[in-house]
Amino acid sequence: MKINISGHHVEVTEAIADVIHSKYAKVANHFPDLMSLDIILKVEKNIQKIEVTTLYENVKVSVSAVADDLYKAIGDSVKKLESALKHRKGIIKANLYDKYQVPEQELVAPTT
């Protein structure tokens, strides 16, 4: 899985990139169909924000997390992304099987 990391008002160091790669490796193991993740790190008034966007089964899935610490925001975003992907996977599985429908029979009045 390819991970694209960019920073807005923050420099992406090797340590931050290593933490992101190690945390999101678990997501890649659970969802091998994921091809890439786009991660944007932001700092706004001493608040760390991370936005993660990906395509899963041709549907855009995006999550964001806000925390005082960047590493806590990364951990929160991993949990949110796993939850969103599990939800999407459940929708796909539910639509995979058509519900059985009982055919309606016409009621005919008895003739006497």
On whether residue 10 sits in a domain, the answer given is yes
pLDDT of residue 100: 67
On whether residue 13 sits in a domain, the answer given is yes
Indicate which CATH number applies to the domain containing 9: 3.30.160.100
Q: How many domains does the chain have?
A: 1
Helix (H) or strand (E) holding 15: helix 14-30
Domain that holds residue 10: 2-96
On whether residue 108 sits in a domain, the answer given is no
On whether residue 106 sits in a domain, the answer given is no
Predicted TM-score (pTM) of the model is 0.77
On whether residue 24 sits in a domain, the answer given is yes
On whether residue 56 sits in a domain, the answer given is yes
pLDDT of residue 92: 77
Q: Which residues of the chain have pLDDT under 50?
A: none
Q: Copy the structure tokens of residue 8.
A: 């807005």
On whether residue 111 sits in a domain, the answer given is no
In order of 5, 40, 80, 90, the CA distances from 10 in angstroms are 11, 10, 22, 36
Structure confidence by residue, pLDDT tens digits, 13-33: 999 999 999 999 989 888 888
pLDDT of residue 45: 87
On whether residue 105 sits in a domain, the answer given is no
Helix (H, G, I), strand (E, B) or coil at 107: coil
